[in-house]
A and B are shown apart, each in its own frame.
Chain A
């Protein structure tokens, strides 16, 4: 049973380009979360999605960032017009049910974005 799969693992973008990070949740999981780890900081919540729905995007920057989890295919975190401050590790996680009442939330290995 494959875990949470993220790609690419490493991505280099020039300032102003777009970055697309993909996440395939574990089999049977319909809840996806994105977290970001900025340099020298801990993991911070960005967005929580279910299939075709954004449930909570309170941790997403208001501009340039968007996320989707379509009916078919992986969840995508999209960053438009990247700036150096977007350089970070982006982690995707998934769970079978909403993360309350004791359900384990499983993490992928992360996608490292470097903006040059």
Chain B
């Protein structure tokens, strides 16, 4: 993998359902994997910074896992709520530069 890739590009979730999506990144020269939550016209909100293989982080109903050997991270949203609607960005940090994926846009339907 040469670039940071996120899939799917977008998804729709029914309120109360859980969902997850993927970030793939180059595993060479890896320093850290950052997740951000981004709403239109706001600043990207830092969710997690993950560095170690096997890392799991949790913030409320949102959690993330990291596999540095195979170069992927999953972000999970449990019991989705309308306020979870946003674009979720992952970024791989190498040499202090963040390389961003295109994002997964989540829309939670009431």
Complex Cα–Cα for A78 and B78 (A): 43
Number of interface residues of A (CB under 8 A): 29
Q: Which residues of A contact B (CB under 8 A)?
A: 3-4, 31, 33, 35, 42-45, 48, 55-56, 58-59, 91, 93, 98-110
Q: Interface with A: B13-21, B68-76, B93-101, which one? A: B93-101
Q: Which residue of B lies closest to A100 (CB)?
A: B31
The answer to whether B89 has its CB under 8 Å from any CB of chain A is yes
Within 8 A of A (CB), among B61-110: 89, 91, 93, 95-103
Point out the residues of chain A lying under 8 angstroms from B89, CB to CB.
42-43
Chain A residues with CB under 8 A of B97: 45, 48, 56, 58-59, 99
9 A/B residue pairs, CB under 8 Å, sorted by A: A31-B96, A48-B96, A58-B97, A93-B98, A99-B98, A104-B46, A107-B44, A107-B46, A109-B42
Task: From B42, B51, B91, B98, give the contact of A101 (CB < 8 A).
Answer: B51
Contact of B101 with A42 in the complex, beta carbons under 8 Å: yes
**In the bound complex, do residue B42 and residue A105 qualify as a contact, i.e. CB atoms below 8 Å apart?**
no
